[in-house]
Amino acid sequence: MDKNKINPNKSGFNLKFIATYIFMNPGCSARHIRRALWVSKHGSLEEFKERYSYISYFYIPKNHRGYPKKYWQSPKRGRWILTAAGTKKITPNLMEYVENCKQKCVTST
């Protein structure tokens, strides 16, 4: 998918982005996923709040949506893998975009 055709503000984008990221990086930490998701929306890590940005996608006590356990799970503390339902959210067209966002995070830290 052409980078210009990807709309990070489209409904469901965050779930697809996270599922695709975890698929490409099984066992990754929520911190890395949240940083890459921030970059996908904002272009850089400026103003990223480590303690507040996108935490509801990973922490069960504060999660009223039920994404953890439904789409991804953490068998080892802080390391995430996809569930069967999560594999349905993988978007192959996002893979290059996800990798680019991941690389921006690596180069900006």
The whole-number pLDDT of residue 64 equals 64
Q: Of 9-18, 56-65, 85-94, which gets the smallest average pLDDT?
A: 56-65
pLDDT of 62 over the 80 cut: no
Q: How confident is the model at residue 96 (pLDDT cuts 50, 70, 90)?
A: very high
pLDDT of 4 over the 80 cut: no
Residue 40: C-alpha distances to residues 15, 23, 37, 96 (Å): 13, 17, 5, 12
**Nearest 5°: CA angle at 91, between 31 and 68?**
45
Coil, helix or strand at residue 109: coil
Please list, in sequence order, all residues whose beta carbon lies within 8 angstroms of the beta carbon of residue 48, skipping any fewer than 6 positions away.
35, 38, 42
More confident residue, 6 or 28: 28
The whole-number pLDDT of residue 61 equals 65
Neighbours of 10 (CB within 10 A): 9
Closest CA to 32 of 45, 43, 47: 45
pLDDT, the chain, mean: 88
